[in-house]
């Protein structure tokens, strides 16, 4: 498992405003969107491309285009939806699947309640979107789900991560170089309710209001 904590002053600035308890939902959504686009730039460094001819106004040249099969972007419902636009803005030809995972607030175990993905992911590079890597249970279940269906590699993009969650993912995929986590910050710890400290609260609630 590879971990990349992206160090950039613009990311750090936007993340600070995102964390602020006084930041309202519209601002939170806009900032999450901007942060994802910046993270996506790093997370897609290994996306596969192939040579493609191009004719400029001056001369023919050789450029690149994304290789087939198209990368698959998978937001984990519900909070991952707040990251989708920022991701596909950078990679508009990617396909999008959906994975609904819910965490039992007492046992903190993740279970799948909805999927909308191709049955066969053979050869696909997958980008999982989940703003908060807390206990790691949801992410391990989601990565396993994609790898079992043939994904060649899985990159999880998270706004924030807790060390406990990173260790859970590392323990599950220790030797695998096809699993990567890209995040804007590694926070201090989890509290007794499974919230990231200092974190930003419940990402789904802050994006969409409490339901």
For 169, half-sphere exposure in the C-beta direction (CA atoms, 13 angstrom radius) is 29
189 catalytic? Reply is no
**134 binds ligand URA, rule: CB under 6 A:** yes
Strand partners, 98: 116
Binding residue for ligand URA (CB under 6 A) from 75, 82, 136, 199? 199
**72 binds ligand URA, rule: CB under 6 A:** no
List the catalytic residue out of 103, 149, 170, 176.
Answer: 103
Residues 83-122 that bind ligand URA (CB under 6 A): none
202 catalytic? Reply is yes
24 catalytic? Reply is no
Q: Is 75 left (phi over 0), alpha (psi -120 to 50) or beta?
A: beta
Q: Which residues of 70-108 are buried (b: 16+ CB within 10 A; e: fewer)?
A: ebbbbbbbbbbbbbbebbbebbeebeebbbebebeeeee
Structure-token match 């910050």, residue found: 185
User: Of the listed pieces 41-49, 57-65, 116-124, 198-206, which binds ligand URA according to CB under 6 A?
Assistant: 198-206
| Strand-strand pairing, 49-55 and 110-116 | unpaired
**156 binds ligand URA, rule: CB under 6 A:** no
Q: Which is nearer to ligand URA, 95 or 202 (CB)?
A: 202
- Is 112 annotated in a binding site? The answer is no
**Which residues lie near ligand URA (CB under 6 A)?**
79, 132, 134, 194-196, 199, 202-204
Q: Which residues are catalytic?
A: 103, 107, 202, 205
């Amino acid at each position: 498992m590879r971990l990349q904590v992206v160090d950039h002053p613009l990311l750090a600035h936007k993340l600070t405003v995102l964390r602020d308890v006084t930041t309202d939902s519209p601002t939170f959504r806009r900032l999450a969107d901007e942060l994802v686009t910046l993270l996506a730039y790093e997370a897609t460094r290994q996306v596969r491309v192939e040579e493609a001819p191009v004719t400029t106004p001056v001369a023919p040249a050789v450029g690149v285009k994304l290789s087939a099969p198209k990368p698959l972007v998978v937001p984990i419902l519900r909070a991952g939806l707040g990251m989708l636009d920022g991701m596909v803005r950078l990679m508009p030809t990617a396909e999008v699947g959906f994975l609904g995972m819910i965490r039992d607030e007492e046992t903190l175990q993740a279970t799948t309640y909805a999927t909308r993905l191709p049955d066969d992911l053979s050869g696909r590079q997958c980008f999982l979107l989940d703003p908060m890597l807390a206990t790691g249970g949801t992410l391990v279940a989601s990565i396993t789900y994609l790898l079992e269906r043939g994904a060649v590699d899985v990159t999880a993009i998270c706004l924030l991560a807790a060390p406990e969650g990173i260790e859970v993912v590392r323990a599950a995929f220790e030797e695998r170089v096809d699993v990567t986590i890209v995040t804007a910050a590694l926070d201090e710890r989890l509290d007794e309710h499974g919230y990231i400290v200092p974190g930003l609260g419940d990402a789904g609630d802050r994006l969409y209001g409490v339901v």
